[in-house]
Amino acid sequence: MMPVRRTQNWLPSIFSDFFDNDWMVRANATAPSINVIETENEYKIEVAAPGMTKEDFTIRLDEDENLVIAMEKKTENSDKKEGRYLRREFSYAKFQQTMILPDNVEKDKIAAKVEHGVLNIFIPKKTESELPKTSKVIEIS
């Protein structure tokens, strides 16, 4: 007797038909990949951003001094023909990521640039002499 492998091709298509449509929003469908690198002198954040320009990004510190990276790009293919659309392509991408910064960074010297489809954010660290010296008295109860 020869072993037979049965495949049920109808089952994956049911899931694809149900989950892969316009009314079912996919989480992180437009979320870019982010790398965080720590060196001796700085933190570097790399955000994958193919096709984006520096005008598409906003980088700011919020009221709690967290780093907020926002990206928004809207493009429209305006090949309009007389009559009805057989295919119409609009593209809209929006992303926002908030990152809590460590205490040892110089928030006034954060810099960023877009290069080769990657947004690079440079966050310099404070030197040991610039770090606040804290001492705390612990009360004994």
Provide the CA 100 distance to its chain's centre, in angstroms. 14
Q: Which of 30-34, 46-50, 61-65, 110-114 has the lowest mean pLDDT?
A: 30-34
The answer to whether 34 and 47 are in contact (CB under 8 A) is: yes
**pLDDT given for residue 24 in this prediction:** 46
Contact present, 46 and 35 (Cβ < 8 Å): yes
Using CA atoms, how far residue 53 sits from 62, 71, 72, in Å, is 22, 10, 10
- Say if residue 1's pLDDT is above 70: no
pLDDT level of residue 125 (50, 70, 90 thresholds) = very high
Percent of the chain with pLDDT over 90: 37
Q: Are 89 and 102 in contact (CB under 8 A)?
A: no
Cα dihedral 106/73/46/66 (nearest 10): 30
- What pLDDT digit, counting tens, does each position of 62-120 carry? 999 999 999 888 765 555 556 676 666 666 678 899 999 998 899 999 999 999 889 99
Q: Where does 1-141 show beta strands of DSSP type E?
A: 34-38, 42-48, 57-61, 67-76, 90-99, 111-115, 118-124
Dist. CA 37–CA 141, nearest whole Å? 43
Is the pLDDT confidence value at 46 over 90? yes
Mean pLDDT across 16-32: 54
- pLDDT class for 26, splitting at 50, 70, 90? very low
